[in-house]
Copies of this chain bind each other. A is one copy, B any other.
Amino acid sequence: MKDAKEQSSEIVVEDQKIIGNGSSIRETITDVRGFLAWGAYTGIKSKRRDLALIYSEVPASAAAVFTQNMVVAEPVKISRKHIKQGRAQLFVINAGNANACTGEQGRLGAQEMVDTAAKTFDLDPKHIIIASTGVIGRKFPTEKVVKGIIKNASKLTSDPIAGTLAANAILTTDTFAKESYSRAKIGKHEIRMAGIAKGSGMIHPNMATMLGFIVTDAAITPPLLDEALRECVNESFNMITVDGDTSTNDMVAVMANGQSGMPEIKTKGKAYKAFREELMEHCVVLASQIVSDGEGSTRLIQYDVEGAPNKVAARQIARTISDSNLVKTAFFGRDPNWGRIVAAAGRAGVSYNPDKTDLFISTEKRTVQLLENGQPVKWNARTLKSMMRAIHLFVRINLKSGKGRATAWGSDLSYEYVRINAEYTT
């Protein structure tokens, strides 16, 4: 072989059959231009992937919103600082250990997670956003995470399977991976957007961390991205309730790397609105998948509140209804108990005239009115009963007391939920 002529034998192949890029594999975050990903085993979890890496080939505009819980995990403390630059290039997320209530050991571990990633990927540490999810108060497995970052950096790929692996690597007790993908037009440019998320699991309320990571090849300034994300999270992730608890680790983050070639969105014009709408769609889809995978949840119920005195009031009412255990158990029992819905609305701390209330229940196919001006409407019991079997239900309540509107999502409350939470021993 040493005698062979030194030449590159590289040739172009025309008819290479490509696995996994056929029309029947579904797109993931790595189909968004300029993004690579991987989901790896580090051994924190004995049999499942537990480290996700999401990388932009160029520095991207970035924004994130974090938990409002007073107790905050170490990665949240760091990422909150980093995101202030408005730029990021890498998300590093581990599952299996939340790095919350871990003290100095955890603080150092989170810092080492950043420093290792910065060194491995040759990045400004401030361009790295880290997140953790899993058990709280247990020593952070720094060495496993650090080794995992180093070992798996070279595996980053745009292959669609990598997006799926990343989506699975951030799960804890979720029963399925949450993923979204879309293509949209902004002006003349096609942009792509995709997201992954994890939600509440089956074990303990304070492990029910909600994480969302969205990537897009749209171009937008960091302040506008931040504003859009806050608005979207406020009307999606913040409007879902599984058990009302907020975690120490909640985070939704987005990178927009501009690789679609579109001109950067710098003002709140038409392009901004189109972008915001697309981002909203992803936040709503990911959040609703989280509700669908709630502890023992069997139904996803959307609550639309209209005609509230103002938006804040509408949000308060929507959340109070969607959070009500009486409403939730009624839905589990397939009982369209309007009394419980109206009662929950009435105790939301908002002043309105209940005698004007209209109330509707819908499936995707049909709608039945239950109340008109606060008075029961006679409905077709058989229709209603069959409607209550749907796994997606829509409750619309119109207070006719103003222009405030809001939407919230909630699950029902099943025997399964009680069993899970009753049988779990710490």
- The interface of chain A, by Cβ under 8 A from chain B, is 1, 4-13, 16-27, 41, 47-49, 154-155, 157, 159, 161-162, 164-165, 167-168, 173, 175-177, 179-182, 184, 193-195, 202-203, 278, 281-282, 284-285, 288-289, 292, 296, 298, 300, 302, 304, 362, 364, 366-369, 376-380, 383, 389-392, 394, 407, 409, 416
Verify B8–A380 contact, CB threshold 8 A.
yes
Given A25-B285, A155-B298, A281-B22, also A9-B364 (CB < 8 A): no
The smallest C-beta distance from A359 to any residue of chain B, in angstroms, reads: 11
For A389, list chain B residues within 8 Å (CB). Answer: 154-155
Choose one: B16, B278, B377; the contact of A4 (CB below 8 Å). Answer: B377
Instruction: Flag if B302 contacts A380 (CB, 8 Å).
Output: no
A157 touches B48 (CB 8 A): no
A-B contacts, 21 of them at CB < 8 A, read A7-B378, A8-B379, A9-B377, A9-B380, A10-B380, A10-B383, A11-B368, A12-B366, A16-B394, A18-B392, A19-B302, A20-B392, A21-B364, A23-B182, A23-B281, A24-B193, A24-B285, A26-B179, A161-B289, A161-B300, A167-B176
Q: Give bound CA distance, A285 to B25, whole Å.
A: 7
Look across to chain B and name the residue whose beta carbon is closest to the beta carbon of A334: B154
> In the complex, given contacts A9-B379, A24-B285, A159-B392, what are 12 additional A-B residue pairs having Cβ atoms less than 8 angstroms apart?
A8-B379, A10-B366, A12-B366, A13-B367, A19-B285, A21-B364, A24-B193, A41-B296, A47-B203, A155-B389, A165-B176, A168-B176
Of all chain B residues, which has the CB nearest A195? B24
Task: Report B-chain residues with C-beta under 8 Å of the C-beta of A298.
Answer: 155
Q: For the complex formed by this chain, how many copies does it contain in all?
A: 2
* Interface contact A5-B378, CB-CB below 8 Å: yes
For residue A162, which residue of chain B has the nearest CB? B391
Q: Separation in Å of the A183 CB from the closest CB of chain B?
A: 8
Instruction: Give CA–CA (A296, B40) in the complex, Å.
Output: 10
Which listed residue, B157, B202, B383, touches A390 by the CB 8 Å rule?
B157
CA distance A267 to B9 in the complex (A): 46
Measured CB to CB, the closest approach of chain B to A284, in angstroms, equals 7
Residues of B within 8 A of A203 (CB): 47
Measured CB to CB, the closest approach of chain B to A125, in angstroms, equals 25
User: Contacts A26-B181, A182-B24, A376-B1: A18 and B176 contacting too (C-beta < 8 A)?
Assistant: no
Question: B202 touching A47 by the CB < 8 A rule?
Answer: yes
A301 CB to closest chain B CB (Å) equals 10
Chain B min CB distance to A197 (Å): 12
Determine how close the nearest CB of chain B comes to the CB of A104; give it in whole angstroms: 32
Which residues of chain B have C-beta atoms less than 8 A from A8's C-beta? 368, 379-380, 383
Q: Which residue of B lies closest to A23 (CB)?
A: B182
CB of A176 to closest CB in B, whole Å:
4
Once A383-B8, A391-B159, A394-B16 are accepted as A-B contacts, the answer to whether A284 and B22 lie under 8 Å apart by CB is yes
In the bound complex, CA of A298 to CA of B157 (Å):
12
Q: Whole-angstrom distance between the alpha carbons of A288 and B285 in the complex?
A: 28
Residues of B close to A9: CB separation below 8 A: 368-369, 377-380
Give A132 Cβ to nearest chain B Cβ, in Å. Answer: 19
Separation of A49 and B23 alpha carbons in the complex (Å) = 28
The answer for the CA separation of A378 and B4 in the assembled complex, in Å, is 6
Question: When the two chains form the complex, which single residue of B6, B7, B17, B20 contacts A300, counting CB atoms closer than 8 Å?
Answer: B20
Whether B282 contacts A24 by the Cβ 8 Å rule is yes
Query: Given known contacts A20-B288, A47-B202, is B161 in contact with A13 (CB within 8 Å)?
Result: no
Q: Which residues on B sit within 8 Å (CB–CB) of A364?
A: 16, 18, 21
In whole Å, how far is A97's beta carbon from the nearest beta carbon of chain B?
18
Residues of chain B within 8 A of A23, CB atoms compared: 182, 184, 281
Give the residues in chain B near A176, CB-CB below 8 Å: 49, 164-165, 167-168, 177
Alpha-carbon separation in the docked complex, A289 to B19 (Å):
9
- B367 contacts A12, CB within 8 Å? yes
